[in-house]
Amino acid sequence: MLSKVAERVYWTARYLERIESTARIISIYDKLLFDLPRDVSLSWYNLIMINSLEKDFDERYSVRDERNVVKFLLGDESNPSSMLSSLKAIRENIRTTRDVVLEETWELTNELNLYVQDHLQQGINRSKRHEFLDNIIKGCQQILGLLYGNMPHDAAWDFLRLGRNLERADMTTRNLDAGMAAILQLEDDDAAVNSHQIIWGNVLRSLNADLSYRRCMRSSVKGDAVVEYLLANEAFPRSIEHCIEALIDSCTHLPNSKTLVTYLRKEKQSLFDAVDYEELGPQLRECLNQLQIMLADFHSHISETWFPKIQ
Amino acid sequence: MTIAWNKYPIGEFYDEIISSPGRARKPAQKLLSYLKSLDKGDIASRKLAAEATIREMGVSFTVYTEEGNIDRAWPFDIIPRVIAKKQWDTTSAGLAQRLTALNMFIDDLYHEQRIIKDGVIPEFVLKQSANYRKECEGISPAFGVWAHICGTDLVRHTDGQFYVLEDNLRVPSGVSYMLENRSIMKRVLPEVFEVIDIAPVGDYTSRLFDTLVSLSPRKVKKPVVVVLTPGIFNSAYFEHAFLAQQMGAELVEGSDLVVQEDNVVYMKTISGLERVDVIYRRIDDLFLDPEVFKKDSVVGVPGLMRAWRAGNVAMANAPGAGVADDKVIYAFVPEVIRYYLDEDPLIPNVETFLCYDDVQRDHVLKNLDKLVVKPANESGGYGMLIGPHSTKKEREKFAELIKANPRNYIAQPTLALSTAPTLVGNDLAEPRHLDLRPFILQARDTYVTTGGLTRVAMKKGSLVVNSSQGGGSKDTWIVDTEGDRR
């Protein structure tokens, strides 16, 4: 498989995952704001912070309100992580890898692109936003479903899985970190217990994990259980444990991957050694920070191993 | 309300569908009666369906403008162009004959040049040909074939006969649109395919793949075939990707390939370097290899010519094949066919005046307002003078150009291109001029597409069919009326 094609497939998967999680987070977010007590000052700007986009956002907007945040995340072409930019990148990637991804992927990508272009305003205005985001999520799932059911499990498939699981792991750390940051902002009063539950519940919903969490943990929504579920559960597809195992699995199918597999195993071990579910707060945030550094590092390893820029 | 077919204005040109008011030519009769059954609403909804299909299939071409490159949806007319199978069979044989002779000619030019020694073609014509490559002399590609993929432009004259307008032997494009046009039609007018015996076009890509595989210098079971594209900004990128995908070949850019000391071409893969056997290159000669041709080419691969000359990789079309694309050489093709094959050409050329000849040049200069003047080595309809549509100033400019470099210009009478009904709105069909580009493959065997790409000048009265200049296209049907099924 051509290195360049592998790289494009990998990025297609990352962008696809990014679009879906962006849509999910935004659609969950207004519900969260409605539920929290009025004196809790969570703002839309948190979504910018979750994605570490403060600098990009502040360069373009002075008012950190809902409209600007949503516009920036969905429709701003100058934001390379916006939904519109991600979709554009997917289309370019699919267009240049049509020989390895399925033909229908190209058609579905075009459809999704056309839908977003025609309905973008709907997503920015609040009244029809839910419907818009819902269709985006469905569009992403349609493409993923197509690939899952029909794509041969060859090298291209493994690069697709690498991209998706890396992006997923990254999103899970960001959601957890945002939850933890919000909790730390709360005043320690009677309303806090209630707010904790609302915030952690929101973290679960953003990752489409609320129902499976309940079934698996048989617990009400509590910080330590939520964190444990999202970090260590083997079966939940967005948990860190699951994503890292999937990354290891994909690596073992690909050539020259020994160092990467060893690296992932070691890093995973030290993560789970460090985390203490009894002691959340700043300690957890530090663990999540380490995890994010590790994921960025792993991406560089992938690039060096399979997409080298040799002459 | 349906289209008023009895009011369809047949001009002085040959119309592909309508023979006399309200009546169709034989192979198009079933088509016309079907079209008559559609009312305005039906036509509008079919047209919309076609447009949506094109957008979803992402069938596009790139237009270069000052604001950057625009990816435009493929302009398509849902009324097909119909040709009788019997006539097509003769045309197809003529195309195969022509390419066979042209390949013998190219091979001769890069070896003994018998045709020049025998005085059939003057030596200076070759010496001054912009597409003759000295670097190719003495090379012997497999089967003696240099042009493996050819897209010949045919036009139909008032007499109903096909003429060859030009041979495209360098990197002809359009075949993917021919294939996509058929897929669009099957989605948009499925019921016609049940009642009319339309020859399929779909096997082109597997024929192309077989042709390419047969060129592999290494006799291995699965030679590595790649399509070499200049990249996403090329106007035919859609086609490059389409063909690679349909053939299961790798789509590569110059930066994906490397030629090492051993004169072998490799591609960069996730497991390291992998040897490449056959390159279907969609890059012009001069950009192929910065070691030999344009030094600043960034789309090519340094060392490619070394590898090709060493016989370690096959290239289709072979470098240097474009020498036969020269429009002065074109004028000699009937002679070329007689010389190598000892046969008369089955498809005639369009009458052509060579400006290097004093008598013919005089005629051209005196009749600039009636003729079409073309530079010998341009493609895509650029740099032409269309006499009847030209201004006095343009004619004066061309007269100077011709006098300054007579070898580089030819002239042809303004063609009476045939027409076919083309939708204008939803309840009107008007004649629009069109041409036809069939594709011919040659290696050990020869294959001609059933029909080809029909290009239409969408503007009333216009003769320019190039998509870069406002042209559109139609599906092309080869219809067998002999053994009519139903």
Taking only the tens place, the pLDDT of each residue in A44-70 is 888 898 888 999 999 999 999 989 999
Instruction: Report the residue of A4, A88, A151 to disrupt the B interface, i.e. the one with the largest count of B CBs within 10 Å.
Output: A4
Residues 6+ apart with CB under 8 A from B228: B252, B253, B254, B257, B279, B280, B281, B282, B283, B301
CA neighbor of B54 nearest in space, from A106, A98, A12: A106
**CB-CB neighbours of B37 under 10 Å:** 10
Distance CA B307, CA B319 (A): 12
- Supply the pLDDT for residue A62: 92
Which residue from B minimizes the CA distance to A92? B232
- Supply the pLDDT for residue B66: 53
- Supply the pLDDT for residue B27: 94
- Supply the pLDDT for residue A101: 82
The letter for the amino acid at A150 is N
Write down the domain spans for chain B.
Answer: 218-312, 353-413
A258 touches chain B (CB under 8 A): no
Burial (Cβ within 10 Å: 0-12, 13-18, ≥19) of residue B232: middle
Tokens of B379: 């493609």
Distance from CA of B285 to the nearest CA of A (A): 22
CA neighbor of A208 nearest in space, from A167, A171, A259: A171
With contacts defined as CB-CB under 8 Å, which chain B residues touch A250? none
Would the CB atoms of A3 and B251 count as touching at under 8 Å?
Answer: no
Distance CA A303, CA A293 (A): 16
The pLDDT tens digits of the residues spanning B104-150 come to 999 999 999 999 999 999 999 988 888 999 999 999 999 999 999 99
> Does this complex have an ipTM over 0.85?
no
CATH class of B353-413: alpha beta
- Supply the pLDDT for residue B465: 84
Distance from CA of A81 to the nearest CA of B (A): 22
The pLDDT tens digits of the residues spanning A170-219 come to 999 999 998 898 888 887 777 778 889 989 999 999 899 999 999 999 88
The pLDDT tens digits of the residues spanning A114-168 come to 899 899 998 888 888 989 999 999 999 999 999 999 999 999 999 999 999 999 9
A5 touches chain B (CB under 8 A): yes
Residue B251: phi, psi to the nearest 5? Answer: -95, 115
The letter for the amino acid at B63 is V
With contacts defined as CB-CB under 8 Å, which chain B residues touch A96? 232, 241, 251
Q: What value does the mean pLDDT of chain B take?
A: 91
A90 touches chain B (CB under 8 A): no
Distance from CA of B423 to the nearest CA of A (A): 26
Residue bearing tokens 């195969």: B96
Dihedral over alpha carbons A111, A114, A118, A123 (to 10 degrees): 70
Which tops the pLDDT comparison, B282 or B61?
A: B282
Q: Assign A236 to helix, strand or coil.
A: coil
Of B57, B241, B258, the CB nearest to A99: B241
CA angle in degrees (0–180, nearest 5) for A21-A22-A28: 85
Is B218-312 a domain of CATH 3.40.50.11290? yes
Q: What value does the mean pLDDT of chain A take?
A: 91
**CB-CB neighbours of A65 under 10 Å:** 12
The answer to whether residues A152 and A3 touch, using CB atoms and an 8 Å cutoff, is no
Would the CB atoms of B251 and A6 count as touching at under 8 Å?
Answer: no
Burial (Cβ within 10 Å: 0-12, 13-18, ≥19) of residue B363: middle
Residue A106 has pLDDT above 80, yes or no: yes
- Supply the pLDDT for residue B475: 96
Four-residue CA torsion sign, B86, B166, B332, B350:
positive
A266 touches chain B (CB under 8 A): no
CA angle in degrees (0–180, nearest 5) for B211-B229-B306: 75
The letter for the amino acid at A184 is L
Please count the residue pairs, one from chain A and one from chain B, whose beta carbons lie less than 8 angstroms apart. Answer: 67
Report in angstroms the alpha-carbon separations of A107 from A8, B54, B198, B419, B450: 17, 10, 26, 33, 27
- Supply the pLDDT for residue A99: 72
The pLDDT tens digits of the residues spanning B345-397 come to 999 999 999 999 999 999 999 999 999 999 987 765 678 898 888 999 999 99
The percentage of residues in chain B with a pLDDT greater than 70, rounded to a whole number, is: 96
A58's enclosing H/E stretch is helix A54-60
Would the CB atoms of A1 and B57 count as touching at under 8 Å?
Answer: no
Of B55, B251, B270, the CB nearest to A255: B270
Tokens of A120: 């973008």
Residue A310 binned pLDDT confidence (cut-offs 50, 70, 90) = low
Give exposure, A68-82, as e/b (b: 16+ Cβ within 10 Å): bbbbbbbbbeebebb
Residue bearing tokens 């299939």: B57
The pLDDT tens digits of the residues spanning B317-336 come to 999 999 998 889 999 999 99
Bridge partners, B280 (sequence order)? B227, B316
A276 touches chain B (CB under 8 A): no
- Supply the pLDDT for residue A41: 66
The answer to whether residues B16 and B28 touch, using CB atoms and an 8 Å cutoff, is yes
Which residue from A minimizes the CA distance to B231? A96
The percentage of residues in chain A with a pLDDT greater than 70, rounded to a whole number, is: 98
Instruction: Report the residue of A10, A98, A162 to disrupt the B interface, i.e. the one with the largest count of B CBs within 10 Å.
Output: A98
Would the CB atoms of A255 and B250 count as touching at under 8 Å?
Answer: no
The letter for the amino acid at B133 is R
Burial (Cβ within 10 Å: 0-12, 13-18, ≥19) of residue A300: exposed
Write down the domain spans for chain A.
Answer: 3-306
Residue bearing tokens 């012997």: B140
The answer to whether residues B373 and B402 touch, using CB atoms and an 8 Å cutoff, is yes
Distance CA B299, CA B240 (A): 14
Residue B76: phi, psi to the nearest 5? Answer: -140, 135
